[in-house]
Amino acid sequence: MELIAESTDLNDYLKELEVVNFSHPLIKEIVNELFNDEQKEIEKTKAAFEFVRDKISHSWDIQSTNVTCKASDVMKYKEGICYAKSNLLAALLRSQGIPTGFCYQRLMIFDTPDKGYSLHTLNGVFLRSFNRWIRLDARGNKPGVQAEFSINEEILAFSIQENFDEKDYPIIYCQPNPKTIATLVENTNTLEMYKYHLPDTL
């Protein structure tokens, strides 16, 4: 699938947002731990991706009711669903001047269509050294889900099953989808939100 940037201005993928708040002290603290001036762009991208994937729990996987949204809150509580984890990865990379956007898939929430669908968020990252966008999914690995950092081929958490009406959206957005953020803001219990209140279309 050919990825399509919403904006041709890479600066649009570097802006600080309310939920991508990389000036927050908690974000600055982890930035200082993860990055140094000797690292190349690709090394910083891999380090940030693996940190969010492996060190920030997916709230559903740990059956937590806590809802996080802003990158700083995800960092504070060390958990979030994909909508929130993508905010943190964007914050870490944007803090380093690495253009980072938001990408979406429409997936079955569980294992059959009758149980419903939801939007799934991952990140698009522009690597200047390769002059192209790649997608990374920091959702968090578990049995049956194995996303990796890769330049040459996408190794995402989920492959699309078109016969079940799942979709892969090609656009890399500058900001997170308003529906996904509203969902995080309006809900107070992650487990209930995950089962019943996730948006299923862009």
Residue pair 172/103 in contact by the 8 Å Cβ criterion = yes
**In what helix (H) or strand (E) does residue 102 lie, and over which residues does it extend?**
strand 100-108
Q: Report whether pLDDT(81) > 90.
A: yes
pLDDT digits (tens, 9 = 90+) for 5-34: 999 999 999 999 999 999 999 999 999 999
How confident is the model over 48-64, as a mean pLDDT?
A: 98
User: Distance between CA atoms of 72 and 92, rounded to whole angstroms?
Assistant: 10
Judged by DSSP in three states, 173 sits in strand
Mean pLDDT over 180-191 rounds to: 98
Dig out the tokens for 151 from the structure: 């330049």
Report pTM.
0.97
Q: How far is residue 181's CA from residue 26's CA, in Å, rounded to a whole number?
A: 20
Starting at the edge strand found earlier in the chain, the sheet holding 167-168 runs: 132-136, 117-127, 100-108, 167-168
Domains in the chain, ordered, with CATH?
4-196 (3.10.620.30)
166 has a pLDDT exceeding 90: yes
Please, are residues 70 and 88 in contact by the beta-carbon 8 Å criterion? Answer: no
- Inform me whether the pLDDT recorded for 104 exceeds 90: yes
